Structure 1
Amino acid sequence: MKRTMGVEEEFLLVGDDGRPVAKATEALDAADESARAPQVPGAAGGALETEFMEEQLETSTHPRSELSDLAAEIRAGRARAQRAADRVGAQIAALATSPWPFEGTTVARLRYLEARARFGLTAREQLTSGCHVHVAVADDAEGVAVLDRIGPWLSVLLALSANSPFWQGEDSGFASYRSQVWARWPTSGPARSFGSAEAYHEAVDAMVATGTILDQNMVYFDARLSARYPTVEIRVADVCLDADTATLLGALARGLVETAAREAADGLPAPVLRTELLRTASWRAGRSGLSDDLLSPHTWRPAGAHDVVGELVAHVRDALGDAGDLDAVTQLLGRLWSSGGGAARQRAWHAEADGDLRRVVERAVEVTHA
């Protein structure tokens, strides 16, 4: 039986000039009931919610077994978010950071306001949009066995998704500057091996007990056990510029989880996770995306991005084949290589428009729904 997978996407709300607009709560209040309904199996597009900032909307799919169904729901979710934005004269853009300078507006919920007060500029500047993939696991024990094995490959997912070259009106020099901003949170980034569900939960409880973070939901590992669902939640990626890349992430994430679970069931030992190398690999992936070398999880030495992505596909090939996803992944990767990825496309638009950030956002809105 195939594992189910689901995708959460966060989007910027922008006005006609391409600048972020603080209208998320207003958009949800104005949306029809179906857009705000709890998830119902079989419904298209999943849920629609606010995020940390009023300049964002978040969509989520239902758990899906078939990749084609997931792809359809990702597109339906984007359309649903746009219908809500239409009611307040805004648009959604799949941009992981705003190209324009901004001052973020925290959603008026007690937890968010407390985080803003406690974390200062880190919270005030968290207008960043990610893509989170949930993949079903049997229980926490299987989930931790998976977490202990997928860490070396998460930086490759970040490189594939990299879609945030601009920050506060300037080219940041990074393909994913969102990953740099996100790294300011005290619990973000790669995690060590845990060995058991008990050790994982003890670590989370210890972090909460320090009083530094509000609760377990602020444990922002690159991949973690979901507190809400029986899933491993892979959180490392930028929101993807186009729906195809988000679909690709879903397929590869499921392939990673299935491969890791099989290795654990077969008694193969988990790799030794050196968090300093995992963090370095992630930083490098965020810096260059697909435009330069990445670190190979086999050698921890630089290798061409094409080669490292090929290593990831080879690693999960059996799982992709068994799920019927291999041909689709091959096609989706071909499209991604042809386009250059989200960061490369944004920079190309910027150059074509002689540095006009408004045009970058306009093109991103178009591709969000393409």
Structure 2
Amino acid sequence: MRIPPDHSREREALRTVGVEEELLLVDPRTGRPAPAVELVLAAAASADVAALVPEAARVTHLERESKREQMEVISIPHTSLADLAQSVTAGRALADAAAQQLGLRAVAMATSATAGTTQLTVSGRYSEMEERFQGMMREQLTCGLHVHVGVCDDAEGVAVLDRIRPWLPLVLALSANSPMWNGADSGYASQRYQVWSRWPTAGAYDTFGSSANYHRAVDELLATDVLVDDGMIYFDARLSARYPTVEVRVADVCLEAAHSVAIAGIIRALVTIASHEWRAGFSPDPLPTSVLRLAMWSASRHGVSGPLLNPILGQPCDPDVAMEALLAHIAPALAAAGDLERVSEMIDDVFTNGTGAERQRRALRTRRSARALVEEAIEQTHRPIGPTTSVLDPLPI
């Protein structure tokens, strides 16, 4: 894809960016998810595994998720995507090294390639969610990529949320990596997004206009007593409850670490441009939430192999046209951060070699088994990104 001209503005302080990647734990002999997160976390804490990935302790850590068949890999925040790449690859390596102690592997697939039941992680909160939401919670086994970008305060954060809305379907389309559901091709590029959308607050959100309106909207949702807690505010993007960040939750976990890092760069650029627009007095795009939901559906259904919504015109268009619009929109921020080439190469790779969903389908067609599909996904999960800088610059988000 053609790289837009460099319109970088005067250099400004780069925003911090960090990621949370959810990975599946699988038995490579069968391709089936393995309920072993507690044992994997214990192995990761051992001296033997720590020695295998010595850099991991400085740049990442592992946590449980809602199901015992998955785990979350959390990077520290960085201002450099090269350093973020180190965190992502070290986190994936640590998770996999620990899993291998048990004969398992950690793989970046947003849904399982095989059918089967799942086991709830032991937690009072998760048990309450299962009691309240029943089959939705029992069936939930999806892996996303959550990107945190630093903001000054809630006022800036909500202004950003209001202005990045129309672009989020394109982020989902690029990251789509979950064609499989219950052991068969779902027909969707991101079946994860379809499954996730069943939660009461999940998906596209209205513009808020101010931080007061945002918090009022959240309070009104909590007052219904439908949700267990504010952690279930599952908007496609939200203010983080723990950090001064905007948390964008729309993406599938990506097969390749390089794609996760580039998605983080795209989201940081969207946040940067949105903040500039807010400070310059530009109003958010008035795209109706009902239309945005349809745009998200199209991205989930097709990835980049079918029509997407042009965020500028609000009309369906070819995916390459939509991505050209995205690159043109964020090019100034990407160029200022030194990220334009990395992001452009990732988008080119997706259009040339396919999204994660297309790669999974190709593996299934050529190798004809879910186990073989998982084997190939494991290889792509741990493919090296390439040369990166050796200087880490962790900052508080």
Shift, 1:27, TM fit: 1.1
Residue in 2 that maps onto 1:302: 316
Partners of 2:20 and 2:43 in 1: how far apart?
Answer: 22
Larger relative contact order, structure 1 or 2 (CA cutoff 8 Å, min sep 6) = 2
Q: In structure 2, what is the equivalent of residue 20 of structure 1? A: 33
**1:161 equivalent in structure 2:** 175
Whether the aligned pair in 2 keeps the contact of 1:31 and 1:87 (CA below 8 Å) is: no
* Secondary structure in structure 2 of the residue aligned to 1:241: coil
Within the candidate set 177, 184, 190, 1:176 is matched to: 190
Note if 1:29 corresponds to 2:42. yes
Pick aligned residue for 1:203 from 217, 226, 236 = 217
Q: Deviation at 1:307?
A: 1.1
SS of the counterpart of 1:186? coil
Separation of aligned partners in 1, 2:75 and 2:222: 29
TM-score (norm 1): 0.96
Task: Name the counterpart of 1:6.
Answer: 18
2:370 counterpart residue number:
357
**SS of alignment partner, residue 332 of structure 1:** helix
Query: CA offset at residue 316 of structure 1?
Result: 0.7
- The separation in 2 between residues aligned to 1:88 and 1:359, in whole angstroms, is 20
Among 317, 320, 339, which residue is 2:331 paired with?
317
SS in 1 for 2:296: helix
Using the TM superposition, give the Cα deviation of residue 42 of structure 1 relative to its aligned residue in structure 2, in angstroms. 9.6
In structure 1, stretches of 5+ residues that fail to align are: none
**1-side partners of 2:46 and 2:148: how far apart?**
25
Task: Determine helix, strand or coil for the equivalent of 1:159.
Answer: helix
Q: Which moved more, 1:293-302 or 1:101-110?
A: 293-302
CA apart distance, 1:43 = 4.9
Given candidates 225, 230, 241, the residue that maps to 1:216 is 230
2:166 is matched with 152
Residues 44 and 95, structure 2, Cα contact 8 Å, conserved in 1: no
1 CA distance for matches of 2:122 and 2:208?
Answer: 36
Indicate the percent of aligned positions where both proteins have the same amino acid: 47
Post-superposition CA distance 1:155-202 (Å, at most 9, x none): 100000000101001110100000000000000001101111111011
The within-5 A match list for 1:280-291 is 280-291=294-305
1:125-172 Cα offsets, whole Å, 9 max, x none, are 110000000000000000000000000000100000000101001110
Alignment partners' CA distance in 1, 2:382 and 2:59:
14
For 2:95 and 2:305, the matched residues in 1 are separated by 31
TM (norm. structure 2) is 0.90
Shift of 1:44: 3.9
Give CA deviations for 1:261-285 in whole Å, capped at 9, x if unaligned.
Answer: 0000111111214110110000000
More divergent stretch after superposition (267-276 vs 106-115): 267-276
* Deviation of the 1:25 alpha carbon: 1.2
Counterpart pick for 2:278 among 251, 264, 271: 264
* 1:302 CA displacement: 1.4
RMSD over equivalenced CA pairs, Å: 1.5
Contact kept in structure 2, 1:45 and 1:80, CA below 8 Å: no
Verify the 8 A CA contact 1:193 1:273 in the aligned structure 2: no
- The answer to whether the Cα contact below 8 Å between 1:10 and 1:58 also exists between their aligned partners in 2 is yes
Q: Secondary structure at the match of 1:153?
A: helix
- The residue aligned with 1:255 is 269
The residue type equivalent to 2:60 in the other structure is: G
Q: Secondary structure at the match of 1:232?
A: strand
- Please state if 1:367 is matched with 2:380: yes
The one-letter code of the counterpart of 1:4 is T
